[in-house]
Amino acid sequence: MKEIVLVAALSENHAIGKDNQLLWHLPEDLKRFRAMTLGHTVVMGRKTFDSIGKPLPKRKNVVLTRNTNWSHPEVSVYNDMEKAIAGCAEETLMILGGAEIYGQSMLLADRLELTHVHGHFEGDAFFPPIDENIWEAEHGERKTDAASGISYTFSRWLRKQP
């Protein structure tokens, strides 16, 4: 059965980006992101795809856009979230954002793989609120990026059993 997983890095005030860029450079987080998504189907909004600039290698890239003329030779394009999910029914979907896409897929998600970046960051794109009545976290240990001094924690959030 298919699993829907949201993968994101967010600050304490839930900022995830500004001016269509990430807010930090955390090599360990990028490494974890790569390992977690390799071989899977990755789903992202058109703005996040533009920000990355090219399809992610060794993954099936799905881009959501409402522009019916948008295409890219190495990308599966959908104009509707439900159609994207239905079209990839047999696959584990790793939802890569950004804010608009996380907002629409939070209710559908089975699992959240989050990097909690400690501190407040100024952003213009935000991860949705996490309802702790619904979600339960398994937090990893706090780490610090030597180059930037930024601390972060990898956390897996699962739906609480009813």
Ligand X SMILES: NC(=O)c1ccc[n+]([C@@H]2O[C@H](COP(=O)([O-])OP(=O)(O)OC[C@H]3O[C@@H](n4cnc5c(N)ncnc54)[C@H](OP(=O)(O)O)[C@@H]3O)[C@@H](O)[C@H]2O)c1
Residues that bind ligand X (CB under 6 A): 8-9, 16-18, 20-22, 44-48, 51, 64-67, 70, 79-81, 96-101, 104, 125
Question: Based on CB atoms, which residue is closest to ligand X, 83 or 160?
Answer: 83
CA distance 10 to 158: 17
Q: How far is the CB of 155 from ligand X (least distance, A)?
A: 13
Neighbouring C-beta atoms of residue 98, cutoff 10 Å: 22
E-strand ranges in the chain read 4-11, 15-17, 41-45, 60-64, 75-78, 93-95, 111-117, 125-126, 135-144, 151-159
Q: How far is the CB of 105 from ligand X (least distance, A)?
A: 9
Q: How far is the CB of 161 from ligand X (least distance, A)?
A: 27
Q: How far is the CB of 10 from ligand X (least distance, A)?
A: 6
Question: Based on CB atoms, which residue is closest to ligand X, 86 or 160?
Answer: 86
Question: Based on CB atoms, which residue is closest to ligand X, 66 or 161?
Answer: 66
CA distance 84 to 77: 8
Instruction: Name the DSSP letter for residue 148.
Output: T
Question: Based on CB atoms, which residue is closest to ligand X, 94 or 101?
Answer: 101
